Copies of this chain bind each other. A is one copy, B any other.
Amino acid sequence: MSTQTLSRKRKLKKPRKASRFKHAKKVGLPPGTLVHVGEVKTEQPLVTVFDYKADAHSEQSLTVEQALTLTPPVHGIRWVNIYGLHDPTLIAKLGTNFGLHPLVLEDILNTSQRPKVDSFEHNLFIVTRCFQYHTTELDVTSDQVSIILGKNFVLTFQERPTGAFDPIRERLRTSGSSLRQSGTDYLVYSLLDMIVDRYFIVLEQLGDDCETLEDAVLHKPTTATLNSIHRLKRESMELRRSVWPLREVVNHLIRNEQGFFEPNTVIYLRDVYDHTLHFIESLEAIRDMLSGMMDIYLSSVSNRVNMELRALTVVAMLFMPATLIAGIFGMNFEIIPWFHHPHGFWFAITIMAVIALIMILIFWRRQWLTRPDA
């Protein structure tokens, strides 16, 4: 896929990131007021409930109305997943039923949070983000995923169905799996692990486009290449900025000061921490790569200026002497050398040709007729 195509497609798409710096909608409202801030990405909220214990499991899909009566389970573990966050009533009711702090509900609805963890007496509130990379637009978008870890329940809030947690559901359906044997903390770990694993898909796509651009910048740099480099750089920096706090979040979970996690699960969380670090470092490698490409682009522009200038100089040096000689023999004097000679005209032409040949020889030896640095 060529960068021109990329860039042309990009121009056609609708204005994006209109809401990049939007946050002002709620100014003036008291804290805890539940207002959805962000784009509505799904038509109808969808609630799925997964009840399980070591020897049994059941799944339900609920409408908003049915979901209003959901409570923590009497026995076993309940995982409630909500797709679509634009219905404050649903969120408020669930908050009351599951004993959540008003600020937690507010944060769930405000979908431009940075990753963070807040611990309360009975539950832990984790905000993370999922990313999608749109290769034709060189654009990274993100959804907020909020996770609440309670004693015997886990709530997850996503902006729209992405299928990200399907492999976990699959493992939950398998009776002997470690997920079924373990508590809610292990489920939360699995969700985090899944989210971070998916980061590497974005990384891979980003890396592929970087390499395409690198080829372009080495062989046929255009302004569109420059713009694409800038775009990718910006996106990778924004990605880094979004993931960076997650490092601290996972680290906080590992310190496990409130004891929400089993010691065994903490070992697994260290693994998530390593992946997060690895991801951040890879992003830095991409950023360095892009910076280098920028330098190569700029130096290639300078080289082109040089080449143009050389072409101009060569032309001037070839034609100016000849033009002067023609002018000399065009002077009006009574006595001009070779005037009467039958081959006088050709003598003059020969002189011009000889000078031009000498010039070309000089240029050739100085390698001025080839590219400056082939």
Q: Which residues of A contact B (CB under 8 A)?
A: 20-24, 26-32, 101, 103, 106-107, 112-114, 116, 118, 120, 166-167, 171, 177-179, 190, 193-194, 197-198, 200-201, 203-204, 206-208, 218, 221-224, 226-227, 230, 233-234, 237-238, 241, 245, 267-268, 270-271, 274, 277-278, 281-282, 284-286, 288-289, 292, 294-306, 308-313, 315-317, 319-324, 326-345, 348-349, 352, 372-373
| Cβ contacts under 8 Å, A245 to chain B | 277
Most buried by B among A286, A312, A324, A344: A324
CB distance from A200 to the nearest CB of B (A): 4
| Cβ contacts under 8 Å, A167 to chain B | 28-30
Copies, count: 5
Q: How far is the CA of A204 from the CA of B341 in the complex (A)?
A: 74
Q: How far is the CA of A331 from the CA of B346 in the complex (A)?
A: 11
| Cβ contacts under 8 Å, A207 to chain B | 20-21
Q: Is the CB of A28 within 8 A of B234?
A: no
Pick 15 A–B contacts, CB within 8 A, sort by A.
Answer: A26-B197, A27-B197, A27-B198, A30-B177, A30-B190, A31-B190, A103-B267, A118-B267, A223-B373, A294-B295, A298-B299, A301-B302, A319-B324, A323-B327, A333-B338
Q: Is the CB of A329 within 8 A of B324?
A: no
Q: Is the CB of B198 within 8 A of A230?
A: no
Q: Known contacts A241-B281, A320-B316; decide if A197 and B28 are in contact (CB<8 Å).
A: yes
CB distance from A315 to the nearest CB of B (A): 5
| Cβ contacts under 8 Å, A334 to chain B | 339-342, 344
Across the A-B interface, the 7 shortest Cβ-Cβ residue pairs: A326-B327, A21-B207, A329-B331, A28-B167, A222-B373, A23-B200, A319-B320
Q: Known contacts A295-B294, A311-B313; decide if A329 and B319 are in contact (CB<8 Å).
A: no
CB distance from A140 to the nearest CB of B (A): 13
| Cβ contacts under 8 Å, A296 to chain B | 226-227, 230
Q: How far is the CA of A129 from the CA of B221 in the complex (A)?
A: 36
Q: Is the CB of B333 within 8 A of A337?
A: no
